[in-house]
């Protein structure tokens, strides 16, 4: 094998290894999504339980906790199966760091459940605890999307992450609405929060639609039956337009929960579909890359003869480049034009470089959509450092600013960052 | 060891693995730089040799070829020592693909030398052949800079790459000027090319100055003696302002070559310094990360007791966050406050996440400077596809456009990309 061909093969092996790592990460994302879904239900039913002063929803909650424990065990096994001894290069540190955070949260989950059981925590406190754990789980999915080295897989992961994040906003809406109905009294601040959650979820779903493949998007559209939507919008109107302090029908708490749950469960079906597409895409790409690798290696067996190495310095003419070398063209070249073997290897090398470069450009485009979230995180960090806030408080502050100014969170984050230069002290 | 701590440790291991890979890549960059330097000299002396119709510079050229062969052997050994069987994830494919290309060129080098020996190629053809091979070598350095996962190392690699690229433009200027003096007659097109090479090298050196550490920049300033610079600028004036077709002093060919060489050799000293800084920075960072890893592992031995896991859900108060957790703070916590152990691990996990996030942001900033080159590559690809040009022809076309319009190459590239939408056919 010539040394050039050896590295052509090595580059292809790297691509395959990255795709295999992506497949593993995708499987992890799948289980993570299932745990998020189960925890969303546990959060909702815990709120109902707390709202009823522990009088109702006890069995339903217990069943849901059992389901969460089953999926948690599955996710922990999934984490354990990650090869943490062989350090992964390329985003490994960030993924593992996110997982470490999630595990700290999972370790604390039974303590949280005990507080809810003994009615020691308010619905609001309980909700925020679940929100924090679920945010940690979603950060794992975000890291997976940000680290994907293949643009098509990255697209699917971005679509999936935004769908999951949108679904989480829907879940928070369900919890906040349940608590508000259960309290029996309209509250202006909570109503603002609900409107904000609705807007946030719609924005996530727009990103999902921009990045999902046609099939998943169609499934999503088909799954939104107009009857459910109409009912949801009717109850949203009742919740959000009641005058501050006006009475709300406590009985609607359950109806609201069921209506939201129906929608969220349908979202789960779309999510499952996306996760399946993701795994299949990884598998297809691994198979295709493996075929190319086999072709390279078949070539290597026949490539010990002398060839016109000087073609490296020949300027390819316009005619040569009119039909660019493809994986197929290469196969024909290998079998049919033995004398041009070295030339073919050079063309293969150039073709590989170009393809990797194009992939890099496409990746940059897809990842740009993740930057919005990064800007928000950066602004949060700035507030934490400057105003000595906790992460939670910084997030609340920005959310409050967004609600008060009727602006999107990203706009507030950009405004915060723009202020960085005029704020006192070392902030960056 | 708690499972959260296990992944905290795993994340740190990933960081160390990435730094070790960076150290290997930096060593590779170092040898690559030395071969580039030797090939630049070989190109220069080959031009002198061809310019004299094979009458002079024969021994000098032969000695230079021997030196190139020695360093080439060293670089090939360096390539071979890369573990191509264990696929590297994270930019591995792109690095290996660049190396495959370089190896094809190195295999063709003796053929090129034979053509020069037999005077079969013109100085221009020979120059272009060396330019192509050196561009391939510099692409390896570029890939290394683009793949670095640590912002400080990335900064140094960006500075080094731009310095090497600037030095290559200086080398091309030396070759073009030598040939022009040797031809004995001024030529408007060649003069334009010289001016363009001078401008390009100045732009690269500006980027170098923006990214280099103070020491390297100081060394660079100190190395540019005003006497050499004045002599270079005087000869540049003679070369570039002579009327088209006017006679040039053939004897100045050697003086020009020597003056340029003196400057380029001094550039090599700065480059060596940068390469050394790079290796040391990698080593320092590996040692620091290793110390942190040891501290984590010492902690793990003591962390089997129960702790307040529920702190995951506690909102850290403003006071807690006023003094952010540092690696030192953590060590004190581990020894002094055993009861707060879990709390400490949680803080460590959060601290790690924040640090990785900050590093990611800094990396994005540093890498932005590499985007200019990527834009140029993309525009080249567009021209190749649209006008059926070879890579060389596409590059020449853009260079010509830049010269004619007195614009920078990046501006031409952006204009080409902006035209993409109005060009006929499938271009993207």
Q: From chain B, pick out residues whose CB is under 8 angstroms from the CB of A391.
A: 316, 350
Q: Specify the pLDDT at position A256.
A: 92
Q: Are residues A58 and A167 in the same domain?
A: yes
Residue B334 to residue A77: CA distance in whole angstroms? 29
Identify the CA nearest to B178 among candidates B114, B237, B258, B234: B258
Q: B300 in a domain, yes or no?
A: no
Average pLDDT of chain A? 83
Q: Give one DSSP letter per residue of A148-215, joined into a string.
A: --SHHHHHHHHHHHHHHHHHHHHHHHHHHHHHHHHHTB--HHHHHHHHHHHHHHHHHHHHHHHHS-HH
Q: Specify the pLDDT at position A410.
A: 84
Q: From chain B, pick out residues whose CB is under 8 angstroms from the CB of A97.
A: 7-8, 11, 349, 352-353, 356
Q: What are the C-alpha distances in Å from A245 to residues A198, A234, B51?
A: 22, 20, 94
The pLDDT confidence band at residue B86, using thresholds 50, 70 and 90, is: low
The answer to whether the beta carbons of residues A325 and A38 sit under 8 Å apart is no
CATH label of the domain that carries residue A403: 1.10.10.10
Q: Which two tokens stand for residue A123?
A: 């619905």
The answer to whether the Cβ–Cβ distance between B310 and A112 falls below 8 Å is: yes
The answer to whether the beta carbons of residues B282 and B19 sit under 8 Å apart is yes
Residue A22 to residue A30: CA distance in whole angstroms? 12
Identify the CA nearest to B130 among candidates B30, B193, B40: B40
The pLDDT confidence band at residue A159, using thresholds 50, 70 and 90, is: very high
Enumerate the β-bridge partners of residue B247.
B185
Cα nearest neighbour of A131 on chain B = B313
- Report pLDDT digits (tens) over A208-228: 998 988 888 888 888 777 788
Q: Give one DSSP letter per residue of B87-108, joined into a string.
A: PPPSSHHHHHHHHHHHHHHHHT
Q: Give mean pLDDT, residues A388-393.
A: 78
Q: Specify the pLDDT at position A74.
A: 96
Q: Specify the pLDDT at position B335.
A: 36
The pLDDT confidence band at residue A112, using thresholds 50, 70 and 90, is: very high
Q: Which of A131-140, A181-190, B413-422 has the lowest mean pLDDT?
A: B413-422
The pLDDT confidence band at residue A2, using thresholds 50, 70 and 90, is: low
Identify the CA nearest to A192 among candidates A428, A360, A421, A406: A406
The residue with tokens 């540019």 is B224
Residue B104 to residue B106: CA distance in whole angstroms? 6
Q: Specify the pLDDT at position A222.
A: 84
User: Which of A:57-96 have CB within 8 Å of B?
Assistant: 76, 79-80, 82, 84-85, 87-96
Q: Specify the pLDDT at position A90.
A: 63
In angstroms, what separates the C-alpha of B376 from chain A's closest C-alpha? 12
pTM (two decimals): 0.83
Assess whether pLDDT exceeds 70 at residue B152. Answer: yes
Q: B77 in a domain, yes or no?
A: yes
Q: Specify the pLDDT at position A219.
A: 85
Q: A36 in a domain, yes or no?
A: yes
Q: Are residues A376 and A227 in the same domain?
A: no
Q: Give one DSSP letter per residue of B327-393, joined into a string.
A: HHHHHHHHHH-GGGHHHHHHHHHHHHHHHHHHHHHHHHHHHHHHHHHHHHHHHHHHHHHHHT--HHH
Q: Give mean pLDDT, residues A113-142.
A: 93
- Report pLDDT digits (tens) over B35-72: 999 999 999 889 888 888 888 889 999 999 999 999 99
Assess whether pLDDT exceeds 90 at residue B350. Answer: no
Question: Counting beta carbons within 10 angstroms of the beta carbon of residue A365, is it exposed (0 to 12), middle (13 to 18) or buried (19 or more)?
Answer: exposed
Q: Specify the pLDDT at position B88.
A: 62
In angstroms, what separates the C-alpha of B166 from chain A's closest C-alpha? 23
- ipTM, two decimals: 0.80
Q: Give mean pLDDT, residues A179-183.
A: 86
Q: What are the C-alpha distances in Å from A310 to residues A13, B114, B128, B301?
A: 27, 11, 13, 61
The answer to whether the beta carbons of residues A399 and A409 sit under 8 Å apart is yes
Assess whether pLDDT exceeds 90 at residue A409. Answer: no
Assess whether pLDDT exceeds 70 at residue A402. Answer: yes
Closest CB from B95, B112, B319 relative to A310: B112
Residue B19 to residue B291: CA distance in whole angstroms? 14
Q: Are residues A271 and A378 in the same domain?
A: no
The residue with tokens 């990785």 is B356
Assess whether pLDDT exceeds 90 at residue A138. Answer: yes
Closest CB from B21, B358, B389 relative to A321: B389
The pLDDT confidence band at residue B256, using thresholds 50, 70 and 90, is: very high
Q: From chain A, pick out residues whose CB is under 8 angstroms from the CB of B13.
A: 84-85, 87
Q: Is B209 on the interface with A (CB under 8 A)?
A: no
Q: Is B410 on the interface with A (CB under 8 A)?
A: no
Identify the CA nearest to B186 among candidates B145, B130, B243: B243
Average pLDDT of chain B? 83
Highest mean pLDDT among A39-53, B291-305, B413-427: A39-53
Q: Is A384 on the interface with B (CB under 8 A)?
A: yes
Q: A196 in a domain, yes or no?
A: yes
Enumerate the β-bridge partners of residue A185.
A247
Residue A183 to residue A178: CA distance in whole angstroms? 9
Q: Which of A167-181, B291-305, B414-428 has the lowest mean pLDDT?
A: B414-428
Q: Is A321 on the interface with B (CB under 8 A)?
A: yes
Q: Which of A415-424, B132-141, B160-169 has the lowest mean pLDDT?
A: A415-424
Residue A428 to residue A48: CA distance in whole angstroms? 43
Assess whether pLDDT exceeds 50 at residue A428. Answer: no
- Report pLDDT digits (tens) over B292-342: 999 888 876 665 444 567 778 875 433 333 333 333 333 333 333 333 455
Enumerate the β-bridge partners of residue A247.
A185
Q: Specify the pLDDT at position A243.
A: 92
Q: Specify the pLDDT at position B302.
A: 61
Q: Is B24 on the interface with A (CB under 8 A)?
A: no
Q: Specify the pLDDT at position B339.
A: 39
Q: What are the C-alpha distances in Å from A251 to residues A182, A183, A260, B109?
A: 8, 10, 15, 84
The pLDDT confidence band at residue A337, using thresholds 50, 70 and 90, is: very low
Q: Give mean pLDDT, residues B355-368.
A: 84
Assess whether pLDDT exceeds 80 at residue B391. Answer: no
The answer to whether the Cβ–Cβ distance between B316 and A392 falls below 8 Å is: yes
Q: Which of A132-141, B16-25, B249-258, B416-425 has the lowest mean pLDDT?
A: B416-425
Identify the CA nearest to A228 among candidates A256, A191, A247, A253: A256
Q: From chain B, pick out residues whose CB is under 8 angstroms from the CB of A360.
A: 94, 374
Q: Give mean pLDDT, residues A26-54.
A: 91
The pLDDT confidence band at residue A242, using thresholds 50, 70 and 90, is: very high
Q: Which of A17-31, A133-147, B167-181, B397-411 has the lowest mean pLDDT?
A: B397-411
Q: Are residues A233 and A380 in the same domain?
A: no
Single out the residue in A230, A263, A285 at which a domain terminates.
A285
Residue B189: partners with Cβ closer than 8 Å, 6 or more residues away: none
Q: Is A395 on the interface with B (CB under 8 A)?
A: no
The pLDDT confidence band at residue A129, using thresholds 50, 70 and 90, is: very high
Number of domains in chain B: 1
Maximum CA extent, chain B: 89
Q: Is B145 on the interface with A (CB under 8 A)?
A: no
DSSP symbol at B61: H
Closest CB from A18, A149, A309 relative to B108: A309
Q: From chain B, pick out residues whose CB is under 8 angstroms from the CB of A101.
A: 4, 349-350, 353
Q: Is A306 on the interface with B (CB under 8 A)?
A: no
The residue with tokens 């052509």 is A8
Q: A59 in a domain, yes or no?
A: yes
Q: Specify the pLDDT at position A89.
A: 58
Top-confidence residue, A315 or B166: B166
Phi, psi torsion values for A247, nearest 5 degrees: -70, 145
Q: Specify the pLDDT at position B21.
A: 87
In angstroms, what separates the C-alpha of B98 from chain A's closest C-alpha? 7
Q: Is the Cα torsion angle B314, B317, B320, B326 positive or negative in sign? A: positive
Assess whether pLDDT exceeds 70 at residue A384. Answer: yes
Q: Specify the pLDDT at position A117.
A: 94
Cα nearest neighbour of B80 on chain A = A3
Q: A338 in a domain, yes or no?
A: no
Single out the residue in A233, A264, A285 at which a domain terminates.
A285
pLDDT above 90 coverage of chain B, percent:
40
Q: B112 in a domain, yes or no?
A: yes
Q: Which two tokens stand for residue A356?
A: 């990797």
The answer to whether the Cβ–Cβ distance between B321 and A390 falls below 8 Å is: yes
Cα nearest neighbour of A310 on chain B = B108
Q: Specify the pLDDT at position B304.
A: 46
Assess whether pLDDT exceeds 80 at residue B30. Answer: yes
The answer to whether the Cβ–Cβ distance between B321 and A384 falls below 8 Å is: yes
| Interface mutation vs chain A, best among B353, B365, B380, most A CBs within 10 Å | B353
Q: B89 in a domain, yes or no?
A: yes
Residue A53 to residue A72: CA distance in whole angstroms? 27
Which structural domain range is residue B189 located in? 20-286
Q: Is A1 helix (H, G, I), strand (E, B) or coil?
A: coil
Residue B410 to residue B379: CA distance in whole angstroms? 9
The pLDDT confidence band at residue B196, using thresholds 50, 70 and 90, is: confident
The pLDDT confidence band at residue A308, using thresholds 50, 70 and 90, is: low
Q: Give mean pLDDT, residues B117-129.
A: 90
Assess whether pLDDT exceeds 60 at residue A87. Answer: no
The answer to whether the beta carbons of residues A137 and A36 sit under 8 Å apart is yes
The pLDDT confidence band at residue B422, using thresholds 50, 70 and 90, is: low
Residue A312 to residue B108: CA distance in whole angstroms? 7
Q: Specify the pLDDT at position A326.
A: 31
């Amino acid at each position: 094998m010539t040394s050039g061909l050896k590295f052509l093969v090595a580059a292809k092996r790297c691509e395959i290894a990255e795709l295999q790592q992506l497949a593993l990460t995708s499987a992890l994302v799948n289980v993570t999504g299932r745990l998020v879904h189960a925890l969303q239900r546990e959060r909702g039913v815990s709120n109902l339980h707390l709202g009823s002063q522990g009088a109702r929803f006890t069995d339903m909650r217990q069943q849901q906790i059992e389901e969460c424990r089953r999926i948690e065990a599955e996710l922990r096994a999934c984490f354990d199966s990650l090869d943490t001894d062989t350090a992964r290069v390329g985003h490994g540190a960030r993924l593992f760091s996110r997982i470490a955070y999630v595990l700290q949260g999972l370790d604390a989950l039974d303590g949280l459940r005990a507080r809810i059981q003994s009615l020691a925590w308010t619905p609001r406190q309980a909700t925020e605890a679940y929100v924090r754990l679920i945010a940690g789980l979603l950060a794992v999915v975000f890291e997976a999307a940000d680290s994907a080295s293949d643009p098509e897989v990255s697209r699917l992961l971005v679509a999936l992450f935004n769908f999951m994040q949108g679904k989480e906003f829907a879940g928070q809406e369900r919890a906040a609405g349940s608590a508000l109905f259960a309290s029996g009294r309209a509250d202006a601040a909570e109503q603002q929060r609900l409107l904000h959650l609705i807007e946030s979820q719609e924005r996530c779903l727009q990103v999902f639609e921009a990045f999902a493949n046609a099939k998943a998007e169609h499934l999503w559209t088909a799954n939104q039956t107009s009857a459910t939507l109409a009912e949801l919008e009717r109850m949203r109107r009742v919740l959000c337009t009641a005058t501050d302090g006006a009475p709300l029908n406590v009985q609607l708490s359950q109806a609201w929960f069921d209506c939201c749950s129906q929608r969220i469960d349908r979202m789960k079906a779309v999510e499952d579909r996306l996760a399946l597409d993701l795994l299949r895409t990884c598998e297809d790409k691994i198979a295709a890359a493996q075929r190319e690798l086999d072709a390279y290696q078949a070539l290597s067996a026949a490539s010990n003869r002398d060839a016109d190495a000087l073609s490296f310095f020949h300027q390819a003419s316009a005619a040569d480049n009119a039909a660019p070398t493809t994986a197929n063209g290469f196969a024909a070249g290998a079998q049919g034009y033995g004398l041009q073997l070295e030339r073919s290897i050079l063309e293969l090398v150039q073709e590989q470089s170009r393809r990797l470069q194009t992939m890099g450009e496409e990746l940059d485009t897809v990842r740009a959509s993740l930057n919005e979230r990064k800007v928000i995180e950066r602004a949060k960090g700035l507030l934490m450092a400057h105003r000595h806030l906790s992460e939670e408080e910084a997030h609340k502050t920005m959310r409050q600013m967004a609600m008060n100014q009727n602006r999107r969170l990203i706009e507030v984050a950009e405004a915060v960052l723009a202020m960085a230069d005029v704020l006192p002290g070392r902030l960056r």
